A and B are shown apart, each in its own frame.
Chain A
Amino acid sequence: MISFQQILFIVVASAAAYFFLGRIMKIRKNILLGRDENRSDHPLKRWKSMLLVAFGQKKMFKKPIPAFLHLLVYIGFIVINIEVIEFFLDGVTGKHRTIAGLLQKWDLTGIYTATLNVFEFLAIGVILSCVFFLIRRNVFKIKRFHNPEMTRWPKLDANLILIFEIILMLAILTMNASDQILQERNVAGYPNTGLMIFSEIFAAPFYRPFDSSILVIIERIAWWFHIVGIFAFAIYVTYSKHLHTLLAFPNTYYANLEPAGKITNMPEVTQEVNMMLGITNPENDGQPPAEIKRLGAKDVRDLSWKNLLDAYTCTECGRCTAECPANQTGQKLSPRKIMMDTRDRIEELGDLILKNDEDFDDGKSLLGDYISKEEIFACTSCNACVEACPVTIDPLSIILQMRRFMTMEESSAPSEWNAMFSNIETSFSPWKFPPSDRFNWAEELKNE
């Protein structure tokens, strides 16, 4: 006979899967609104980048203390979620602690006890880390957590995640503590788990005064709270900066493998320049020049899919902004804001496209409505933001594509830059010196 709890579990799990996968498909669709870019070369190097940077969290360790605490939360997230296997088995079959029951039958309870103690140890680690992170974020005056872009939703989002993680861990400890007490009292239906040390020490004292009938209910509530909490969290994550837990992996796989100083070539320009210079290219000879799309980027659809993946991967830690020389000297540019704006805009445009059609134009754009020219002009292309990002996001790429749009499509570069351009055009140097003086230094040297 299927119980009410089993039916409820199956309905809730299916609904969660439906909403979660729906969000993932939508995010994928939004990312693919970006332009093509080949990032599938050198698979070995890419696997290595993913293993070291995402899995091994190599770049986090520039700041050892937060890196260690973050690692605890991350290992906790992966390892404790193994327990979800038993949650699923129990939920579907209506039994209690299916795996513990099986292991008890085979006299292998020790394995179960050891595993659950590891989970509990990590749960304590996660709670301590999250408490530290909450204090650091809200009490310590760390500038990168208080930049102008870190108000309202981004600020709330960061705190919600930490609080949510703490509550999920407390639910596990509550569940295990009440379970242990029920085992002690030989209540039927609670297979032997062995001593679960951390819940015994930290949680059991609170629950021991209660009657067994109440503990049965507390155990159920904690179980349901934990599993529904995980489902809710999974869906929440897709709307949150916390999406980095998933996207850090593809994002580091598709990382830029070229030297950081190299700016991506625009082959569509090369053909025109070749014609202007009278250079013939045997490959294109006689063929009309390819139709040139918008030069550079004005809106999210002009960016590459990797720029958009970057935006969804950003966890708003602000290490980029903390390292940015322009931001440090009070200028408006914040690389983190560039990524947050890109994500907000692709989410907005993605919704509009879904409601209307592929080519829908709402008259708004990333450059102008979200990001100002002042921000884009402030960048020194020093790559400090790129270097700082723990998940290989490249804000510089977006900035440079926007400069291309402003300079080539809008002709709205600063006047000093226009002067520099005309110097290069007429004197072949960014400064206005007569080309005939270029080699004067050699004469000066010979006469020293």
Chain B
Amino acid sequence: MENKNTYNVPTMAELSQKGEDPEVLLWIGCAGSYDERYKKVTKAFVKILNIANVSFGVLGPEETCTGDPARRAGNEFLFQMQALANIQVLNGYNIKKIVTACPHCYNTIKNEYPDLGGSYEVVHHSEFLNQLIEDGRLAINENELLKDQKITYHDSCYLGRSNHIYNAPRQLIESLQADLVEMKRNKENSLCCGAGGAQMFKEPEKGDKFINIERTEEALQTDAKIIASACPFCMTMLSDGIKNKEREDEVKVLDLAELIAKSKNL
């Protein structure tokens, strides 16, 4: 089929056939591949990579779950099955550097794969986008939609406390000249969205409130009309929270890549 645009999504299989080595492997993750909402984030990020002329490749159909939820739910066998299979594929393509928009994939590949023979330089898309801006490869245009707009950022546990990435996402929001407002609990003291540790895949235990509602209320208290997130699970939990509060018409949950894409009208 003829492409309607010029966006390219080269797979590692194609690239290696041509004998090409991309600068970076883009790890999509299961949410970015299948979840209708998060596919939009994947697409936004890929558009940015295209216009910034980043040479990248994806595993495409060869990618599988990193095993993060299995390990956190206590299934070490299944985790290692996934990890060892993925490492075989990654090492087979001689991958050196990986970028991903999923903090769970980021944490697993960066911190847990080395013990199983997979050592790569892993960067989260918030860091990667900042680097592109810093290197002058991605220009941020002034955008009326975002300029001085109140945006609050929700720290993902697997980026923040787990890996100390607090500044990159905030720097991105500030580069849009938006008005970054913090929630009461932020950075090291941020409150989880409720989905980590494989909670995404089960009902919460008995309590008197849902964690995502607690966090959503805190986000709404900032009066920001955009809640920026950097994690597929956080996005789901906060979007559900906003719907629960019936505020989905005025308050949007957007990923950092979507904000950048929006500012560039991509």
Contacts and interface: CB of A to CB of B under 8 A. Distances in A.
Given A380-B192, A444-B39, A270 B116 contact: yes
Given A259-B111, A262-B111, A439-B60, A446 B33 contact: no
B161 A384 contact: yes
10 contacts: A269-B80, A273-B81, A328-B214, A329-B214, A330-B208, A377-B202, A381-B197, A384-B192, A387-B188, A444-B39
Given A262-B107, A273-B77, A325-B214, 17 more contacts: A261-B163, A262-B112, A269-B77, A325-B211, A326-B207, A378-B204, A380-B196, A407-B73, A417-B73, A420-B201, A421-B78, A424-B67, A429-B33, A430-B30, A439-B60, A441-B33, A448-B5
Interface residues of B, number: 76
Interface in B188-219: 188-189, 191-192, 194-211, 214
A431 interface: yes
A380 B80 contact: no
B61 A438 contact: yes
Interface in A366-414: 374, 377-384, 386-387, 400, 402-408, 413-414
Interface residues of A, number: 75
Contacts, number: 232
A386 B164 CA distance: 13
Contact of A420 (B1, B73, B164, B210): B73
Contact of A405 (B3, B30, B39, B74): B74
Nearest to A396: B197
A403 B73 contact: yes
Interface string B220-246: 000000000000000000000000000
B175 interface: no
B74 A329 contact: no
Nearest to B67: A424
Given A323-B189, A331-B204, A446-B7, A421 B111 contact: no
Interface stretch (B82-90, B125-133, B134-142, B251-259): B82-90
A420 B205 contact: no
Nearest to B160: A383
A260 B201 contact: no
A329 B28 CA distance: 32
Contacts of A270: 80, 84, 116
A64 to B, nearest CB: 14
Contacts of B43: 441, 444-445, 448
Interface centre among B43, B162, B200 (most CB of A within 10 A): B162
